[in-house]
Chains A and B, each alone.
Chain A
Amino acid sequence: MSALSCRESGGLRTGGWGRPGGMLRTLWQGLRQLTGDDAYERYLAHHHRHHPGAPVECRRTFWRREIERRWARGAQRCC
Chain B
Amino acid sequence: MPQRLPAIALWTAISLLGASALGGIALNRGESINAAWFVVAAVCVYLVAYRFYGGWIAARVLSLDASRATPAERLENGRDFVPTSRWIVFGHHFAAIAGAGPLIGPTLAAQFGYLPGTLWLLAGAVLGGCVQDMLVLFCSTRRDGRSLGQMARDELGRAGGTAAMLATLLIILILIGVLGLVVVKAMAHSPWSTFTVFSTVPIALVVGVYLRRIRPGRVLEGTALGVALLLLGVLGGGLLGSWPTLYAAFDWDGRALAGFVIAYGFVAAILPVWLLLAPRDYLSTFVKLGVVLMLATAIVLISPEVKMPPLTRFVDGTGPIFSGDLFPFLFITLACGAISGFHALVASGTTPKLLARESDIRLIGYGAMAAESFVGVLALVAASVLDPGVYFAINTAAGVVGADPTAATATITSWGFPVTAAQMRALAESVGEVSLFGRTGGAPSLAVGMASIFGSAFGHGLLATWYHFAIMFEAVFILTTLDAGTRVGRFIMQDMLGAFWTPLGRTSWYPSVVLSSLLVVGGWGYFLYIGVIDPNGGINILWPLFGIANQLLAAIALAVVTVILVRSSRARYAWVSALPLAWLVVVTTSASLQKLFAADPGVGFFAAARELTAKLAAGALPPERAAIAPQLIFNQQLDGWMTAFFLVLVWVVVIDTLYRCLRREAVGAPRSARNPESPYVRTQLP
Contact = CB atoms under 8 A, between A and B. Distances in A.
The answer to whether A and B interact is yes
B256 to A, nearest CB: 26
Contacts of B232: none
B96 A77 contact: yes
Contacts of B356: 9-11
B278 interface: yes
Interface residues of B, number: 66
Contacts of B546: 79
Given A75-B484, A76-B349, A30 B87 contact: yes
Interface string A1-19: 1111110011110000000
Q: Which of B82, B216, B484, B491 has the most CB of A within 10 A?
A: B216
Interface stretch (B27-35, B98-106, B389-397): B98-106
Given A6-B686, A12-B85, A36-B219, A46 B336 contact: no
B342 A79 contact: yes
B188 to A, nearest CB: 22
Given A67-B274, A71-B278, A78-B98, A6 B217 contact: no
A36 B684 CA distance: 25
A1 B74 contact: yes
B293 interface: no
A64 B272 CA distance: 11
Nearest to B102: A79
Contact of A77 (B76, B223, B484): B484
A74 B684 CA distance: 33
Interface in A36-73: 36-37, 39-40, 42-43, 46-47, 50, 59-60, 62-64, 66-73
Nearest to A2: B684
A67 to B, nearest CB: 5
Contacts, number: 158
B281 A75 contact: yes
A9 B357 CA distance: 12
Contacts of A63: 211-212, 216-217
B670 interface: no
Interface string B16-56: 00000000000000000000000000000000000000000
B480 interface: yes
A79 B88 contact: no
B96 A35 contact: no
Contacts of B421: none
B165 to A, nearest CB: 15
A76 B220 contact: no
Contact of B485 (A37, A69, A77): A77
B91 A34 contact: yes
Interface residues of A, number: 44
B545 interface: no
A71 B273 contact: yes
A4 B490 CA distance: 38
A79 B478 CA distance: 8
B686 A78 contact: no
B273 A67 contact: yes
B220 A32 contact: yes
Contact of A59 (B96, B217, B345): B217
Given A63-B216, A68-B274, A74 B83 contact: no
Contacts of A30: 85, 87-88
Contacts of B524: none
A20 B550 CA distance: 45
B168 to A, nearest CB: 10
B216 A59 contact: yes
A59 to B, nearest CB: 5
Interface of B: 73-74, 76, 78-80, 82-85, 87-88, 91-92, 96-101, 175, 179, 211-212, 216-220, 223, 273-274, 277-278, 281-282, 284-286, 335-336, 340, 342-343, 345-346, 349-350, 356, 477, 480-481, 484-491, 507, 546, 550, 684-686
Q: Which 5 A-B pairs have the closest CB atoms?
A: A74-B487, A79-B101, A46-B78, A12-B85, A74-B488
10 contacts: A9-B82, A35-B285, A37-B220, A42-B82, A63-B211, A71-B484, A74-B486, A77-B99, A77-B477, A79-B546
